[in-house]
Amino acid sequence: MASDPDVDQSPPSPGTVDFRGSRRLVGAEEWFWYLAAAITYITLGIWHKWLLNWFVGPAWLVAFIVVGPWITDRLGMTGRSRSALGSAGSDGQTSR
């Protein structure tokens, strides 16, 4: 069966996934998501002050960091397919 050349189906190296089989963020990608969360939150906060509170602030960051990479993975923007992540899940159980 021919594989999709655009999708990296090789299992990720140990240590790149966590105890749930979710991908860890490292380096530039981690910075990107934190900066994206900060810039959007700061900008919206200037005009919508109700966003600047104890609950929304932390929830904003956690949502960005959890959901953002998940979406880009599903869209194939980070070169990780669903099947590759699936196989990583089993590896992830032992990569704590």
Partner 1 sequence: MSWAAHQFEIYAVQAHLPQKMKGKVSFWAIFLGDFTPDFLSKFWVYGFTINGTRYGADVPHQWHRGFPGMGFTHTLFFGVILTLLIWGWRKNRAFTIGYLLGFAAHALTDINDSVGVMLFFPLLVLNFTSETWAYAATVEGGKYLDAAAYYSSLGLVMDVFWLIVVLFSWRVLTREHWRTQIVPADARIWAWFGRWLPERGLIALYRATFFYGLCRMISWSAWARFFADPEKYRDFDVTSRGFPMDLSWTGPSWLAARSLSHVNPWLAYPAALMLLAVVYAVIIRLWEPMGRREAKALAARSRWRNGTHDEADVQADA
To which residue do tokens 């159980």 refer? Answer: 93
To which residue do tokens 């869209």 refer? Answer: 75
Does residue 42 interact with partner 1 by CB under 8 A?
yes
CA dihedral 14, 15, 20, 24 (to 10 degrees): -130
Which one of the spans 3-11, 57-65, 77-85 is the region binding partner 1 (CB under 8 A)? 57-65
Does residue 7 interact with partner 1 by CB under 8 A?
no
Does residue 5 interact with partner 1 by CB under 8 A?
no
- Is residue 51 a contact partner of residue 44, using CB atoms and an 8 Å limit? yes
- Is residue 3 a contact partner of residue 65, using CB atoms and an 8 Å limit? no
The values of phi and psi at residue 23, to 5°, are -70, 140
Among 11, 32, 41, 84, binds partner 1 (CB under 8 A): 41
Among 3, 4, 7, 19, binds partner 1 (CB under 8 A): 19
Does residue 88 interact with partner 1 by CB under 8 A?
no
Residues in the chain: 96
The residue ranges that bind partner 1 (CB under 8 A) are 18-20, 22-25, 30, 34, 37-38, 41-42, 45-47, 49, 52, 54, 57-58, 61-62, 64-66, 69
